Every structure is written in C-alpha cells, then in structure tokens.
Amino acid sequence: MSRDKTMTAEEVVGRLRSGMTIGVGGWGSRRKPMALVRALLRSDVTDLTVVSYGGPDVGLLAAAGKVRKLVAAFATLDSVPLEPHFGAARQRGAFELVELDEAMLMWGLTAAVHRLPFMPIRAGLASDVMTVNPSLRTVTSPYDDREELVAVPALRLDAALVHLNRADAHGNGQYLGPDPYFDDLFCEAADAAYVSCERIVETSELLKDAGPQSLLVKRAFVDGVVEAPNGAHFTSCAPDHDRDEAFQRAYVKAARDPEAWREFTARFLSGDEDAYQAAVAAFHEEEA
C-alpha cells in the first residue's frame, strides 16, 4: 500500500518558500486550485515566479503583491475577458512579465517534463514575443530543410498546484470534466506537486463512474493531496460545479475600486477556507 499523502492546504503552503517558481493548473477561470491559492494568500510566502494559463489565480496573487515574475500567454476570466487585477498590476509595473504564446507555454512545460533543455516550435517567430523576451533563442534544424525555429526553454517548476475532481489519498488524480487542461504537465514538470480535489475517494472507487483515461495525474508525481470541496470556486469545475458567475462579477466589480477591494478582502479573504465558503454562501443568500 503506497503512502497516504493527504494534508491540509496550510500544510501545502508550509512547504512552499519565497522566491519559488510555482506552476498553477487549470485555464483562465476554469478548474483553478483556488483553495490552495487562498491558503497561499494567507501565508508569508512571496516573491514568486508564477507559470499559468492565467485566471483569477494570477489576479489574486498579483493583487496581494506576491508575484515577482509571471510567465503566461494571457490572464482572463473567460466570461469577463480581462482579468482586472492582472491588468492593474501590469499597468503599475508590479511584476516582470515573460509573455509567451499559448503553444510555447505548453512546449516549455513539455520540455521540462521530458528533461530536455528546449522544444522547437514555429510559434513566436516574427512576433514581438521574440522582442519582449530577448533571451529567447532560435535553433536551426540539422536536417536538409534547415528550418529556423524558436527554442522554447524548459519551464521547470519548484512546485505545481492543481485542482481535480477526484483523487485518492496516494495522489492519483482524476478529472471528470471535458478538458484536462495541462494539469498533468504541470505536476510532471515540478519538483513537488500538490493536488486539491473536490473529494478524496478510495482507489477502488476511482473507476466506478469514469474510464481509465480520466486518471490524469499519477501518484509518482504528487507530494500532497488536499480535499477541498468547492475548492475551485469561483472558477468552473465541471461536472461538480459551474463557474460562479454572480460571484465572479462581484469580484470584478470590487477589483476595479481600491475601497471596494478592501471590503471584498475583509469579507471573503480574511479568514480560512471554511470562513470563505461560508461567506460565499451568505453572498448567495443575499443575492437570492
């Protein structure tokens, strides 16, 4: 029997250090490990390099001043195209940005997983991605075509944070929604990976309602498992819960005004995860 890796979100954050490079799974406002991000917000850990297909994870960490460098192709809330904290942070020059194309980011993670220094890709050539990242290099094909391609450097991570629908106590993670995003790559590219999930189940239960291809993350790459129901809130976590559009709208509205943001933070982000979930429930009772 392999070991039990269950832990709390606070224990996950206790293993993170200031200055680390942290990859965050999900995509935009979809299946983000928000309970882990909220625990990170409550900690002293800062000065982070964040690698993400960015959503409110990037926004919240940037608003809290925890991001030294962001590696991303975008930050968005999907149904709200522009992530307000990301935009404000960029406009005040709050962090260094490594702006890569979506496919370049995938290839950078893939190179890290495969323990390669880089992966070649056509994307980026001729665009200002090359201009704003002067350290990017090209590589010439050694074959007869002699094509010159971008060499996307490996994006090795100190830690990865992902949220899945189910996991067992040993770190086998399962997604039940339509898209795995890149969560397996994030885990495999990291020296330590932490999976939060809607529900921890017995290993024998994992395949009760889904096929083996739903087992996205393998325990060999996982160091900690956190049960966090509604832990992707307010992002979507299909089929367990949809995006909380009303709450996301309230987040956006508050983020656009410093005073409103202070109130939002006091109301939702000043306590632990249980307090957050209770405040969200109260929010919906008021809205109803």
Residues that bind other proteins (CB under 8 A): 27, 53-54, 72-76, 81-82, 86-88, 90-93, 99-104, 106, 121-129, 131-132, 147-149, 178-182
Please tell me the distance from the alpha carbon of residue 206 to that of residue 184, in angstroms, as a whole number.
17
Nearest approach in angstroms of CB 179 to other proteins is: 4
H or E segment and range at residue 279: helix 273-287
Nearest approach in angstroms of CB 178 to other proteins is: 4
Closer residue to other proteins (CB): 1 or 126: 126
Closer residue to other proteins (CB): 14 or 258: 258
- Alpha-carbon dihedral angle through residues 188, 192, 107, 142, given to the nearest 10 degrees: -80
Omega before 239 within 30 of 0, i.e. cis: yes
Place of tokens 């990170």: 40
Closer residue to other proteins (CB): 228 or 232: 232
Nearest approach in angstroms of CB 82 to other proteins is: 7
Closer residue to other proteins (CB): 45 or 73: 73
DSSP per-residue letters across 98-166:
EE--HHHHHHHHHHHHTT-SEEEESTTTTSTHHHH-TT-EEEE-SSTT--EEEEEEP--EEEEEEEEEE
Nearest approach in angstroms of CB 282 to other proteins is: 31
DSSP per-residue letters across 201-263:
--GGGTTSSS-GGGEEE-GGG-SEEEE-TTTTTTSBBTTTB---HHHHHHHHHHHTSHHHHHH
Joined tokens for residue 217: 């993350």
Nearest approach in angstroms of CB 121 to other proteins is: 8
Nearest approach in angstroms of CB 122 to other proteins is: 5
Beta-strand relationship, 48-52 and 21-24 = parallel
Closer residue to other proteins (CB): 182 or 268: 182
Nearest approach in angstroms of CB 169 to other proteins is: 27
For 257, residues 6+ apart whose C-beta sits below 8 A from its C-beta are none
Closer residue to other proteins (CB): 204 or 213: 213
Closer residue to other proteins (CB): 109 or 195: 109
Chain centre to alpha carbon of residue 280: 21
